């Protein structure tokens, strides 16, 4: 009987901070590229945005955890869910952009902000990632009570449309994307008022694009300070 040779034990080498930061730079550039691709009209890039966000924030060992800054790094928060609904027509971190004479479209907020409201301060990661910001649709349109977090939204899209769980559509994801999650607009002109037209675009995609915007701004603005707090030398 032939003897079996044992396979050598796998060797694991701890990654240095410099190596992890280099990986973060690559993820940053890839995230930025996918965000710009979405802006240019390629909606499928949102799935790549989800993938990059999960590597940085949400995998088994996300990069911010590997660097030891998940409890230090402050995140840009552009969600409007804390604002007065009667004085603010935005939803979560997205807006309904009116296209005169054409209709409306769900869009990321980017750096816009509802006039007359103070901006929200940067948030600790745990709060930013897990706070409920997005409402769900109901039979009459949508209930503006925040139900879903950034974490929920990114995972829903990654699992339902990114290939991880392509089975029966989850009710939660359906409530975020069904047709009645919308706003309707009409226009008045010389000939009278037009019929009401539903806003176009996927609100979940717009929200994920804005999450990408928040993360890019967070890393650009606050990464150095978070690493310095850990006495890690940072070189851009």
Q: Report the pLDDT value the prediction gives residue 205, as an integer from 0 to 100.
A: 93
Of 4 and 90, the structure prediction assigns the larger pLDDT to 90
pLDDT digits (tens, 9 = 90+) for 209-232: 999 999 999 999 999 999 999 887
Dihedral of CA 130/50/96/37: which sign? positive
Question: Which stretches of the chain are DSSP H helices?
Answer: 17-39, 45-57, 63-66, 125-130, 150-160, 171-177, 203-229
User: What is the pLDDT confidence band of residue 86, given thresholds at 50, 70 and 90?
Assistant: confident
**What's the CA gap between 31 and 170, in Å, rounded?**
26
Q: Report the pLDDT value the prediction gives residue 100, as an integer from 0 to 100.
A: 77
Of 158 and 102, the structure prediction assigns the larger pLDDT to 158
User: What is the pLDDT confidence band of residue 166, given thresholds at 50, 70 and 90?
Assistant: very low
Token duo for residue 228? 């310095």
Identify the burial level of 121 via C-beta atoms within 10 angstroms of its C-beta, where 0-12 means exposed, 13-18 middle and 19 or more buried.
exposed
Of 217 and 172, the structure prediction assigns the larger pLDDT to 217
Choose from 30-39, 143-152, 170-179 the range with maximum mean pLDDT.
30-39
Q: What is the mean pLDDT of residues 179-206?
A: 74
20 and 67 Cβ atoms separated by less than 8 Å: yes
Instruction: Quickly list DSSP for 130-168.
Output: HSEEEEEEETTEEEEEEEEEHHHHHHHHHHHTSSS--SS
Q: How far is CA 225 from CA 23, 76, 172, 233, in A?
A: 18, 14, 37, 10
b/e 153-182 (16+ beta carbons within 10 angstroms → b): bbbbbbbbbbeeeeeeeeeebebbbeeebb
What average pLDDT is seen over the chain? 84
Q: Report the pLDDT value the prediction gives residue 169, as an integer from 0 to 100.
A: 44
Is the per-residue pLDDT at 125 higher than 70? yes
Q: What is the mean pLDDT of residues 26-48?
A: 97
Q: Report the pLDDT value the prediction gives residue 188, as an integer from 0 to 100.
A: 76
Q: Report the pLDDT value the prediction gives residue 151, as an integer from 0 to 100.
A: 95
Within 8 A by CB and 6+ apart from 86, the residues are none
Q: Report the pLDDT value the prediction gives residue 221, as an integer from 0 to 100.
A: 97
Q: What is the mean pLDDT of residues 19-33?
A: 97
Q: What is the mean pLDDT of residues 181-198?
A: 71
For Cα atoms 112, 116, 121, give the angle at the middle one, nearest 5 degrees: 65
53 and 158 Cβ atoms separated by less than 8 Å: no
Candidates 189, 176, 233, 218; CA nearest to 70 is 218
Q: Report the pLDDT value the prediction gives residue 56, as an integer from 0 to 100.
A: 98
| Helix, strand, or coil (residue 94) | strand
Token duo for residue 43? 């909606």
Is the per-residue pLDDT at 140 higher than 90? no
Of 234 and 137, the structure prediction assigns the larger pLDDT to 137
């Amino acid at each position: 009987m032939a003897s079996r040779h044992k396979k050598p034990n796998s060797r694991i080498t701890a990654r240095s901070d410099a190596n992890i930061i280099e990986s973060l730079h690559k993820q940053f550039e890839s995230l930025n590229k996918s965000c710009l691709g979405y802006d240019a009209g390629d909606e499928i890039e949102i799935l790549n945005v989800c993938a990059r966000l999960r590597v940085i924030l949400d995998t088994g060992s996300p990069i911010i955890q590997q660097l030891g800054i998940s409890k230090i790094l402050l995140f840009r928060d552009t969600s409007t869910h804390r604002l007065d609904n009667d004085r603010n027509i935005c939803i979560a971190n997205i807006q309904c952009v009116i296209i005169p004479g054409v209709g409306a479209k769900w869009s990321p907020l980017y750096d816009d902000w509802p006039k007359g409201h103070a901006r929200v301060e940067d948030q600790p990661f745990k709060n930013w990632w897990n706070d409920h910001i997005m409402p769900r649709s109901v039979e009459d349109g949508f209930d503006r009570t925040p139900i879903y977090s950034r974490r929920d939204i990114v995972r829903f899209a990654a699992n339902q449309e990114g290939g991880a769980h392509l089975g029966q559509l989850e009710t939660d994801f359906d409530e975020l994307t069904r047709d009645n999650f919308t706003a309707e607009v009409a226009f008045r002109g010389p000939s009278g008022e037009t019929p009401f037209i539903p806003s176009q675009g996927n609100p979940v995609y717009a929200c994920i694009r804005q999450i990408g915007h928040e993360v890019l701004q967070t890393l650009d603005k606050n990464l150095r300070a978070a690493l310095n707090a850990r006495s890690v030398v940072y070189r851009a």
